[in-house]
Amino acid sequence: MSATTPRIAVLGSGAGSNFVAVANAIAAGTLDATVVLVVSDYSNAGILKHAADRDLPHVFLDPGPNPNRFADEAQIELARLLREARADAIVCAGFMRVLKAPMLTEWAGRIINIHPSLLPQFRGRDAISQALAAGIPVTGCTVHLVTEEIDSGEILAQSEVPLLAGDTKETLTPRINAAERALYPSALQKWLHSPGSRNSE
């Protein structure tokens, strides 16, 4: 990353609540970063509307014909878009596709994600249901680096969320989402401005 304000691109598949938290932190001055591009694999995703409302560059990227796979052509196009935007770091905010080359090679160590569990517990999809099924007293969320192995990169920050008696996915999810929105901007600020995280361009 450069020595100036980091240029971040945000990837998301859904409503964009974590993106809004990041954008609000930037506007409030608590996160020193510039959003240079927002990308979604769904044309009607709320994250794209939030980006448009903020006059931020945004684009729908066709993920390919298989709903469960991020096509190789899409990976290549995503890398091109991020290269063109001169992104220093990639922020995954509810992006439900698995990244691989060339993304993981060109931006190795510069892709960050937030996951709704206390990793290494409950990797992969539907971590909240996994936590409920396990009957544990505490779950939460984790900010981590993205690597080839899903949800297995270096852990950067975590926030705990207690499970309450009678919790369901519908009652627990909003509390974890709130913890994510509180944790992600502060973890991003620390990571983006840590000398160890900077890869010279």
Q: pLDDT for 97-150, tens place per residue? A: 999 999 999 999 999 999 999 999 999 999 999 999 999 999 999 999 999 999
Which class is 7-193 in CATH?
alpha beta
Both structure tokens of 19: 């993106």
Both structure tokens of 86: 């001169």
pLDDT value at position 197?
56
Pairing type for strands 138-145 and 58-60 reads unpaired
Strand partners of residue 11: 39, 92
> How far apart, in whole angstroms, are the C-alpha atoms of residue 157 and residue 168?
25
Active site residue 58: no
Task: State pTM to two decimals.
Answer: 0.93
196 has pLDDT over 70: no
Of 50, 58, 115, 144, which residue is the catalytic one? Answer: 115
